[in-house]
Homo-oligomer: A and B are copies of this chain.
Amino acid sequence: MTDKPRKFRRVDPDVRRESLIDAALRCLAREGHDGLSVRRIAAEAGVSVGLINHYFPSIDMLVADAYETLATNIADRMVKAVEQAEGTPRERLARLIEACFAPEIMDPALLKVWVVFWGMILHSPEMRIVQQRTNGRFCNVYERFLRDVAEAEDKRVDTTLLARGLSAMHDGLWLEFCLNPDSFKVEDGMALCHAWVDAKLA
């Protein structure tokens, strides 16, 4: 009474697209730039080579979609982590910084993916557009919670500049940590970010 053997199953196009993007991200996380290959992604997704080009005009478009997807996911998770937290604006900002240093962020495999994104941003206009959009989102998240603190404590600071500094410091620490996890402890990184914020919102 076994199911009759099928050579493949049709899948809803949207679901299929998503599964291809997921497979691509898994390949990039595992193999970095070497994982960026139609054949490896197809194998990872369990489909044939040709299907990739059926859903994406070129490999660059697939990566651009993957970039948008991953960046959006991460930003959303951060916002949610803070929004469902209670406490003063100051405490919520601390939750945000904690979320920025969560284990799934401070992961060399994630940097492997991002390094590929960066390399493509420098050559592909489509990727550059995604970068500008997603980076703007990240900065807005930082600024939003920083402004909450500034308003609650009645401080007058340029929250845009403050957010840019926080973003830069976190990016630099994240990069260095992922390249060399022994160079410092995650707690030290969080302390540095807090030191920056406290210095401007003292």
Contact = CB atoms under 8 A, between A and B. Distances in A.
A118 B200 contact: no
A11 interface: no
Interface in A165-189: 165, 167-173, 175-176, 178-180, 183-184, 188
Given A167-B172, A168-B173, A179 B33 contact: no
Nearest to A132: B180
A179 B118 contact: yes
Interface string A184-202: 1000100110011001100
A164 B178 CA distance: 15
Contacts of A175: 118, 168, 171-172, 175
Interface of A: 32-34, 108, 111-112, 115-116, 118-119, 121-123, 128, 131-132, 135, 161, 164-165, 167-173, 175-176, 178-180, 183-184, 188, 191-192, 195-196, 199-200
